[in-house]
C-alpha cells in the first residue's frame, strides 16, 4: 500500500511540475507576444518630427496701419508654416512698445517670431493668451527666454485652465511636434482687465466669447481683442481662414452663440480680422468680411452634415467633399472624433484602429468612454 501511495504522490508531483512548466512557457510566450504587439502598434503612429519645416514657404508677415489719424499703431500678422498648423500671431506695435497675441505652437515658429520682435526695436510688454490651447501657448517657453521682462498674461479663467493643462500640454506637444516642441509650458499670469494700453492707445478685451473647443467644455472661454485705432478684430480661434475648423466639444447651443457673435461682428465697420489659423496659400485673398463669412458658413455646413450623419467617418468624408483640397484636415478629424467620443482614434495610429476593429463594439465604446471621461476631467474644472 505504501508503495502505491508513494507512486501516486510522485505522479501528482510530476504532473504539477509539468503543468508549471507549461504555464511558465505560456506566460513567456504571452509576454513576448504583448511586447511584439506594443512595438508593432508604436510603429503605426505618425512621425512628430515632420512638424519641423524643411524650408520656409512665402513671407511670414503682412502689415496693417492705423485708420485713425495720428495713431502710431500698426499690426503685423505672422503665420506659421503648414507643418506648424498655420497658427496666427499678431504684433500690435506702437512707438516704443509692442504687444504679442498668441505665442505660437512650436519652437521654430516662436524663434522666428522672436527674431521679428527683436528687429522692431520695440519693447515687448505683454504676450497675451486668448484661449487655453497649446497651439497658442507653448511658444512662450522660447519667448520668455528671449524676452525675460515681458509679462505673459491672459484673462483669469483662461489662465486657470492653462495652468491645469500644462503637464498634458507638454506631453501632447512632445508627441505632436517632436524636436519642434516648445517645452516646458510657461504659466501665464492672471490679468483681470477689460483693456490693455499700448503707448497710451487702448486695446479692448472682450472676454468669455464662444469659439473652437477641443476636449473642453462647450463654453470654454476665448478673449477677443478689438483695436479701435486699426478697426481690427483679433478673434483668433473663433475664426479660421480657408482651413477646417476644430468643432470638438461644441454643442448646438454653444455653436448658436458662436454664430451670433459672427453675425454681430459682420455689422461692424472692420478693416482687419485676424483668424487663429490661416492657410498660407490663400492668405493673399483674406479680407475682414471674408474671414467672418467663411467661418460662419463652415460652422453651418458642419452642423448640417453632423445632424445628417451616422458615423464620424461619414462626417469627415462629407466635409472633405464640401471643401475639396482644403487644409487643416487634422482639425476636422480631431474635432469629429471628439464629437463622437472615439478617443482611441485621437492617437492617429492606424494599427490601433486595426486592432480596435476586432474588438466587440460595446467593449470599444466602453473603453473609449472611460478614456474620454478621464481626459476631459483632467483638462477641465
Ligand atoms: Zn488654434
Contacts with 363 (C-beta within 8 Å, 6 or more apart), sequence order = none
Q: What angle do CA 63, 229, 193 make, to 5 degrees?
A: 105
3-state SS assignment for residue 331: helix
Give me ligand 1 centre to Cα 40, in Å: 32
Give me ligand 1 centre to Cα 135, in Å: 5
What percent of the chain is modeled with pLDDT above 90? 72
Say what the pLDDT of residue 8 is: 84
Give me ligand 1 centre to Cα 1, in Å: 84
Give me ligand 1 centre to Cα 72, in Å: 29
Give me ligand 1 centre to Cα 136, in Å: 6
Q: What is the pLDDT of residues 105-121, one digit of tens each?
A: 999 999 999 999 999 99
Angstrom distance (rounded) from CA 190 to CA 125: 15
Q: Which three cell numbers stand for residue 268?
A: 461692424
Q: What is the pLDDT of residues 34-47, one digit of tens each?
A: 888 777 777 777 76
pTM of the model: 0.88
Say what the pLDDT of residue 59 is: 66
Strand order in 232-241's β-sheet?
195-198, 201-209, 222-227, 232-241, 272-278
Give me ligand 1 centre to Cα 68, in Å: 30
* Range of weakest confidence among 5-14, 48-57, 202-211, 238-247: 48-57
Q: How many residues does the chain have?
A: 381
Give me ligand 1 centre to Cα 119, in Å: 26
3-state SS assignment for residue 131: coil
**In 3D, which of 108, 160, 166 has the Cα closest to residue 134?**
166
Give me ligand 1 centre to Cα 237, in Å: 5
Instruction: Show the domains of the chain with their CATH numbers.
Output: 55-306 (3.60.15.10)
Say what the pLDDT of residue 220 is: 95
Q: Which three cell numbers stand for residue 162?
A: 492653462
Angstrom distance (rounded) from CA 225 to CA 203: 7
Q: Which three cell numbers stand for residue 10?
A: 510522485
Q: Which three cell numbers stand for residue 343?
A: 478617443
Determine the number of helices (DSSP H) and then strands (DSSP E) in the chain. 11, 12
Say what the pLDDT of residue 93 is: 96
Average pLDDT over residues 89-97: 97
Q: Is the pLDDT of residue 1 over 70?
A: no
Q: What is the pLDDT of residues 144-181, one digit of tens each?
A: 999 999 999 999 999 999 999 999 999 999 998 999 99
Is the separation of the CB atoms in 142 and 111 below 8 Å? yes
Mean pLDDT over the full length of the chain: 92
Tell me the CA distances in angstroms from 116 to 89, 113, 380, one per residue in order. Answer: 12, 5, 35
Say what the pLDDT of residue 48 is: 67
Angstrom distance (rounded) from CA 85 to CA 245: 12
The position carrying cell 512707438 is 95
Say what the pLDDT of residue 153 is: 98
Give me ligand 1 centre to Cα 222, in Å: 11
Give me ligand 1 centre to Cα 236, in Å: 7
Q: What angle do CA 47, 52, 57 make, to 5 degrees?
A: 130
Tell me the CA distances in angstroms from 259 to 80, 143, 285, 380, one per residue in order. Answer: 27, 34, 23, 24
Which helix H or strand E contains 20, and what residues bound it?
helix 2-42
Give me ligand 1 centre to Cα 18, in Å: 61
Give me the residues paired with residue 61 across strands: 78
Give me ligand 1 centre to Cα 276, in Å: 6
In the chain, what is the straight-line distance between the N-terminal and C-terminal CA atoms, in Å? 75
Give me ligand 1 centre to Cα 238, in Å: 9
Give me ligand 1 centre to Cα 358, in Å: 34
Give me ligand 1 centre to Cα 55, in Å: 22
- Top pLDDT among 267 and 40 is at 267
Q: What is the pLDDT of residues 303-357, one digit of tens each?
A: 999 999 999 999 999 999 999 999 899 999 999 999 999 999 988 888 888 888 8
Give me ligand 1 centre to Cα 239, in Å: 10
Amino acid at each position: 500500500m505504501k508503495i502505491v501511495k508513494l507512486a501516486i504522490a510522485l505522479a501528482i508531483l510530476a504532473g504539477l511540475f509539468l503543468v508549471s512548466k507549461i504555464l511558465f512557457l505560456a506566460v513567456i510566450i504571452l509576454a513576448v507576444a504583448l511586447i511584439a504587439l506594443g512595438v508593432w502598434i508604436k510603429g503605426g503612429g505618425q512621425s512628430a518630427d515632420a512638424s519641423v519645416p524643411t524650408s520656409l514657404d512665402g513671407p511670414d508677415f503682412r502689415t496693417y496701419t492705423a485708420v485713425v489719424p495720428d495713431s502710431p499703431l500698426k499690426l503685423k500678422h505672422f503665420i506659421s508654416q503648414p507643418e506648424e498648423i498655420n497658427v496666427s500671431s499678431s504684433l500690435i506695435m506702437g512707438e516704443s512698445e509692442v504687444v504679442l497675441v498668441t505665442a505660437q505652437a512650436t519652437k521654430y515658429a516662436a524663434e522666428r517670431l522672436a527674431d521679428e520682435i527683436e528687429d522692431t526695436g520695440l519693447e515687448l510688454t505683454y504676450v497675451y493668451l486668448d484661449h487655453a490651447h497649446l497651439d497658442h501657448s507653448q511658444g512662450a517657453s522660447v519667448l520668455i527666454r528671449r524676452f525675460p521682462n515681458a509679462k505673459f498674461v491672459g484673462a483669469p479663467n483662461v489662465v486657470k485652465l492653462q495652468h491645469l493643462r500644462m503637464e498634458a500640454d507638454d506631453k501632447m506637444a512632445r508627441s505632436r511636434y517632436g524636436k519642434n516642441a516648445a517645452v516646458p509650458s510657461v504659466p501665464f499670469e492672471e490679468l483681470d482687465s477689460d483693456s490693455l494700453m499700448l503707448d497710451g492707445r487702448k486695446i479692448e478685451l472682450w472676454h468669455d466669447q464662444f469659439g473652437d473647443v477641443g476636449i473642453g467644455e462647450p463654453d470654454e472661454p476665448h478673449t477677443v481683442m478689438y483695436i479701435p485705432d486699426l478697426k481690427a478684430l483679433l478673434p483668433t480661434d473663433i475664426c479660421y481662414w480657408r482651413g477646417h475648423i476644430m468643432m470638438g466639444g461644441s454643442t448646438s447651443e454653444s455653436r448658436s452663440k458662436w454664430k451670433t457673435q459672427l453675425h454681430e461682428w459682420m455689422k461692424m465697420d472692420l478693416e482687419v480680422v485676424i483668424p487663429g489659423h490661416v492657410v498660407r496659400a490663400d492668405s493673399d485673398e483674406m479680407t475682414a468680411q471674408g474671414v467672418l463669412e467663411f467661418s460662419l458658413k463652415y460652422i453651418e455646413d458642419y452642423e448640417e452634415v453632423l445632424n445628417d450623419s451616422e458615423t464620424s467617418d461619414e462626417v469627415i468624408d462629407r466635409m472633405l467633399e464640401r471643401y475639396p483640397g482644403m487644409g487643416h484636415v487634422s482639425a476636422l478629424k480631431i474635432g469629429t472624433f471628439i464629437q463622437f467620443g472615439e478617443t482611441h482614434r485621437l492617437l492617429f495610429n492606424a494599427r490601433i484602429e486595426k486592432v480596435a476593429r476586432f474588438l466587440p463594439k460595446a467593449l470599444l465604446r466602453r473603453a473609449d468612454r472611460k478614456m474620454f471621461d478621464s481626459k476631459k476631467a483632467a483638462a477641465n474644472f
